[in-house]
Structure 1
Amino acid sequence: MSDQFIKTITKNKNFRAYALNGTNLVREAALTHETSRIAAVVLGRGLLATALTAQSVLKGEERMSIQINGRGPIGNVVVEGDAKGSVRGYVTNPQLETVLDDKGQLDVSQAVGTNGFLQITKFAPYANPYIGQSQLISGEIGDDFTYYLAQSEQIPSVVGVSVYMNADDTVEVAGGFLVQALPDATDEAIDELEVALKNMKPLSQMLVDGYTPLEILETIFGKDEVDILQVAGVGLAAEPSKAAYRKMLTTLPATEVQAMIDEDNGAEVVGKFSGKRYFFTADELRDVILEINANNAE
């Protein structure tokens, strides 16, 4: 079941605003990767921020890949997303032990680290990839996407993402919002937005209280102050099938595939984004080698 995403514009045409409830996709990702409590929050925030950003900067068949490396104990945070609402991701250390701040709360910043960069690579059909990068400013992920959009995309934005965990380390709720200033936004309008964001109820509390994506945005701009442009689903990208992985194997040199037979009498492929495992027997690999040789002979 996909989660709900909405795209809106304020009635005064000052801002575009996006919001989503991503509880199901974050919960599924956490279960798939068997994440610890802190890793579920980090991965979840990365998935949510990427889903929001993808909807705001991509169109058509475009897609994007983000990588956060703050040199913290969580390792790399890698997420892919497209303009159609599909995302998938992983963290290098999904079983990282809980990291707490001096108030006893999960310390996402310490887990991610701040001595590094957020890099976003955008892919478009028939075009060279575009790579943008900005320094991490907090390691909290939402703030770092906010800074990236302002610095690399030249779009004044605010990104807020939250993952709220149950006592048993499962995901209770997850969601987020993204607000972008349009060219006609006045300084006064931007100042009012900053005040509204400062005074609003914490995002995590709104999610726990059952706020819909629209209600989150109405908390920021006021009831009936936004026009909905689109309502769509978002969810985890489908896992490649065994047949798709076999096709990837046919792009390797035949000698490499033969080495898999000689050394391991087969091969196991593990999807980084899903953790799913597919085993290819020696006979299956021999068929792959036959196909590689036939392709090379053409």
Structure 2
Amino acid sequence: MADQFIKTITKNKYFRAFALNGTNLVRQATAAHETSRLASVVLGRGLLATSLTAQSVLKGEERMAIQINGRGPIGNVVVEADAKGSVRGYVTNDKLASIFDENNQLDVAQAVGTNGFLQITKFAPYSNPYIGQSQLVSGEIGDDFTYYLAQSEQIPSVVGVSVYMNDDDSVKSAGGFLVQALPDATDEAIDQLEVDLKNMKPLSDMLIENYTPLKILEAIFGEGEVEILQVAGVGLAAEPTKDAYREMLTTLPAVEIQAMIDEDNGAEIVGKFSGKRYFFTPEELTDVILEINANNAD
């Protein structure tokens, strides 16, 4: 099931704002990777922030890949997303044990680290990739995307993301918002937005109370103060099928496929983004070798 995403503009035309309920996609991603409690929060925040950013800066067939490396124990956070609402990602250390801060809350910043960068690569048809990079400012992910958008995209923005966990380490709720100032935004309006964001109910509380994406934005700007421009679905990108992975194997030298048979009695492919495993028997790999040889003979 796809989660709901909305794109809006404030009635005074000072801001455009995006919000999404990403509970299902974060649940599916963390279940597929069997992530630990802390890794689930980090991965979920990465998926949410990337989804929001993709919807704000991409169009058509464009897509983006983000990498966060703060040199923390979680390792790399890698997420890909497109303009159509598909997203997928993983963290290097998906079994990281819980780390707590002084308030006994999961310490995302320490897990991610701050001695590194957020890098975003944007891909568009028929053009070279665009790579933007900014330093990590907090390791909390939402703040780091906020800083990136201001520095690399020159778009004054605020990104808020939250993943709330159940006692059994499953995902209870996940969602976020992104607010961007438009050219007509006055200094007074921006100052007021900062005040409103500081005074609003915590995002995690709103998600627990089942706030819709629209209600989250109305909690920021006021009831009836935003106009919906788009409602769309956001969900995990489709995993390549076993047939697709077989096609990839046919691009390898036949000697490498034979080594898989001789040394491992088959081959197991693990999808980095999905965690799914596909096993190829010696007989299946022998068929792959026959196809490789036939293609090379043409």
What does residue 294 of structure 1 align with? 294
The equivalent residue for 1:21 is 21
2:269 matched residue in structure 1: 269
Deviation sequence 1:75-109 (CA, Å, 0-9, x none): 11111111111111111111111000011111000
1:38 equivalent in structure 2? 38
1:175 has 2:151 as partner: no
Q: Measure the CA separation in 1 of the matches of 2:222 and 2:167.
A: 33
CA offset digits 1:217-261 (Å, max 9, x no partner): 011111111110100111111111000101111122222222212
Determine the C-alpha separation between the residues in 1 that align with 2:288 and 2:64: 31
Which structure 2 segments of 5+ residues have no match?
none
Q: 2:188 corresponds to which residue? A: 188
Separation of aligned partners in 1, 2:220 and 2:297: 63
User: Offset of 1:189 from its aligned partner?
Assistant: 1.2
The residue that corresponds to 2:9 in the other structure is: 9
State the Cα distance separating 1:129 from its structure 2 match: 1.3
SS in 1 for 2:104: coil
Alpha-carbon distance between aligned partners in 2 of 1:230 and 1:276, rounded to the nearest angstrom? 33
Q: C-alpha root-mean-square deviation of aligned residues, in Å?
A: 1.0
Paired residues for 1:1-298 under 5 Å: 1-298=1-298
Per-residue displacement from partner, 1:190-225 (whole Å, max 9, x unpaired)? 111111111111100111111110011011111111
- 1:292 deviates by 2.2
SS at match of 1:167: coil
Find the residue that maps to 1:119 and give its secondary structure.
Answer: strand
Aligned residue for 2:179, secondary structure, equals strand
Runs of 4+ in 1 over 4 A off after TM superposition: none
Give 1:173 shift: 0.6
User: For 2:137 and 2:54, how far apart are their aligned partners in 1?
Assistant: 21
Separation in structure 2 between the aligned mates of residue 98 and residue 264 of structure 1, nearest angstrom: 35
Partner Cα distance (2:83, 2:294) in 1: 37
Q: Work out the CA distance in 2 between the residues paired with 1:295 and 1:48.
A: 43
Instruction: State which drifts further: 245-254 or 12-21.
Output: 245-254
What is the Cα deviation at residue 283 of structure 1? Answer: 2.1
How far residue 130 of structure 1 moved from its aligned partner, in angstroms, is 1.2
Residue 53 of structure 2 aligns with an amino acid whose one-letter code is T
SS at match of 1:227: strand
1:117 & 1:230 partners in 2: Cα distance? 32
Q: Distance in 2 between matches of 1:266 and 1:35?
A: 27
| Structure 1: runs of 5+ lacking an equivalent | none
Q: 1:18: Cα distance to partner?
A: 0.1
DSSP 3-state at the match of 1:246: helix
SS in 2 for 1:60: coil
- Provide the rounded CA distance (Å) in 1 between the counterparts of 2:297 and 2:134: 46
1:112, 1:26 → 2: CA distance?
18
Counterpart CA distance in 1 for 2:143 and 2:26 is: 19
- Cα deviation, residue 186, structure 1: 1.3
TM-score by length of 1: 0.97
Q: Distance in 2 between matches of 1:255 and 1:88?
A: 32
